[in-house]
Amino acid sequence: MRRSTVAAAVGALVAGLALYGSAQAQEEPVQAPGAQQSTLRAAAEAAGKFVGTAVSDGRLNDASYSEIVSSEFSSVTAENVMKWDTTEPNRGSFNFGPGDRLVEFANANDQQVYGHTLVWHNQLPGWVSNGGFGAAELTQVMNDHITEVAGHYAGQVAYWDVVNEAFNEDGTMRPSVFQTTIGDGWIAEAFRAADAADPDAKLCINDYNVEGINAKSDGLYNLVSGMLEQGVPVDCVGLQSHLILGQVPGDLQENIQRFADLGLEVIITELDIRMTTPSDPNRLQQQAQDYETVVSACTAVPGCAGVTVWGISDADSWIPGVFPGEGAACVWDENLQRKPAYDGILAGFGS
């Protein structure tokens, strides 16, 4: 609820109580509506952050779903339709229709678009992953893809995950087709191509299990530090934050701060917190506390630009399909009803 609406509501309450006389009013003093009557979007804005969600293209025609997306979030990320297998299923043949729908939706609802993702080892069309290209040709293929996709959306996308999930758990480079064919320079090459295609977009590298200070996040830190020293146009780091109930890293804020100290923006990009299913009230309260902890860590660091949750509803979550017996990771349940996690996020933003 926006401030003007809150003020009007308070005024109406005061006027109503006056009808019962001052004594009654003293017994039941008027209080401003609590944080639970705010929206995530308003709470994030008040904290100087954005709050986003991943959007399923197939759900935008669902009025209840699209109403939550439009009213609760200031940023939208395409869950799948800006990935390589959708945007360039065949070499040189591009499909921008689904991504364009999200951009139109965002424009209609005064939201920013977070582009995800230009280069990733997963959800690649077979002609890329099994193409048998040499280093020079695969570099050209990668650069052409980045040029076309980022160029198509130039001026319409605020952030791009240029490179996604490039690291092994021990901090070494994942042996993707790009790493094994092109070599260590492929990430810097991708960032330079993205910068040339859209100089105004903020360019990010994104990964999971890098929320705390560990071997993997150290590898990421060393990579981006080196790229900055080389003048590579990297602007931000995305911490995916696919977390497990009760296991938010204790050094999350410290980790956010060290990346911010490099002059980078830090973004919580794919937040969800899974549990053993079925859920119960105790687990849902722990989940709310965990969401609050994560969002509070971002709120506490000026260089943390915002938080994106990975999807709206437990019914649409990717978790059960990958982690059998686990789920209930989102902020809304299968029936699009708010869970305690919603109030946890509000509290994390200081609402």
**Do 194 and 92 fall within a single domain?**
yes
| Cα–Cα distance measured from residue 204 to residue 227, given in angstroms and rounded to the nearest whole number | 12
Same domain, 179 and 236: yes
Name the band, by pLDDT with cuts 50, 70 and 90, for residue 309.
very high
Residue 13 scores a pLDDT above 70: no
Residue 30: the pLDDT is 34
Q: What is the pLDDT of residue 52?
A: 98
**Are 251 and 301 spatial neighbours (Cβ–Cβ below 8 Å)?**
no
Structural domain count, the chain:
2
Q: What is the pLDDT of residues 267-307, one digit of tens each?
A: 999 999 999 999 999 999 999 999 999 999 999 999 999 99
> From CA 39, how far away is CA 310, in angstroms rounded?
17
Task: Mark whether 16 and 50 lie in a shared domain.
Answer: no
**Given this model, what pLDDT does residue 37 score?**
53
For the record, the structure tokens of 105 come out as 């939706």
**Residue 4's pLDDT band (boundaries 50, 70, 90)?**
very low
**For the chain, what is the mean pLDDT?**
91
- HEC sequence for the chain: CCHHHHHHHHHHHHHHHHCCHHHHHHHCCCCCCCHHHCCHHHHHHHCCCEEEEEECHHHCCCHHHHHHHHHHCCEEEECCCCCHHHHCCECCECCCHHHHHHHHHHHHCCCEEEEEEEEECCCCCHHHHCCCCCHHHHHHHHHHHHHHHHHHCCCCCCEEEEEECCECCCCCECCCHHHHHHCCCHHHHHHHHHHHHCCCCEEEEEECCCCCCCHHHHHHHHHHHHHHHCCCCCCEEEECCEEECCCCCCCHHHHHHHHHCCCCEEEEEEEEEEEECCCCHHHHHHHHHHHHHHHHHHHHCCCEEEEEECCCEHHHCCHHHHCCCEECCCCECCCCCECHHHHHHHHHCCC
pLDDT, position 308: 98
188/270 same-domain check: yes
29 with 61, same domain: the answer is no
pLDDT of residue 131: 85
Bridge partners (DSSP) listed for residue 51: 307
Does the pLDDT of residue 12 top 50, yes or no? no
Dihedral angle of Cα 350, 340, 61, 101, to the nearest 10 degrees: 40
Alpha carbon separation from 204 to 25, 87, 201, 251, 341 (Å, rounded): 54, 19, 9, 22, 27
Share of the chain above pLDDT 70, in %: 89
The yes-or-no verdict on residue 65 having pLDDT over 70 is yes
pLDDT attached to residue 3: 31
Distance of CA 252 to the CA centre of its chain: 16
Asked whether residue 23 carries a pLDDT value surpassing 70, the answer given is no
CATH code for position 172: 3.20.20.80
Give yes or no: residues 17 and 144 share one domain: no
Are residue 148 and residue 15 in the same domain, yes or no? no
Tokens 């549990």 belong to residue: 275
pLDDT digits (tens, 9 = 90+) for 37-52: 589 999 999 999 999 9
Regarding whether 125 and 5 lie in a shared domain, the answer is no
Q: How confident is the model at residue 153 (pLDDT cuts 50, 70, 90)?
A: very high
71 plus 202 within the same structural domain? yes
Contact between 161 and 116 under an 8 Å Cβ cutoff? The reply is yes
What local confidence, expressed as pLDDT, does residue 17 receive? 33
Q: Of 72, 211, 270, 292, which one is the catalytic site residue?
A: 270
Q: Do 21 and 73 belong together in one domain?
A: no
d(CA 180, CA 183): 6
**Residue 336 — left, alpha, or beta (φ > 0 → left; ψ -120 to 50 → alpha)?**
left
165 flagged as catalytic:
yes
φ/ψ of 278, rounded to 5, equals: -75, 155
What pLDDT band is residue 351 in, cutting at 50, 70 and 90? confident
Report the alpha-carbon distance of residue 189 to residue 90 in Å, rounded.
22
Based on the domain organization, do 77 and 27 belong to the same domain? no
**Phi first, then psi: what are they for 279, rounded to 5°?**
-75, 165
Instruction: State which residues form the domain around 290.
Output: 39-348
pLDDT of residue 113 exceeding 90, the answer is yes
Q: How far apart, in Å, are the Cα atoms of 106 and each of 55, 90, 156, 176, 201?
A: 11, 28, 10, 33, 16
pLDDT of residue 262: 98
24 and 44 in a common domain: no
CA dist 225 and 183 (Å) reads: 18
Whether residue 70 is predicted with pLDDT greater than 60 in this model: the reply is yes
Per annotation, catalytic residue among 88, 165, 211, 292: 165
Q: What is the pTM of this model?
A: 0.89
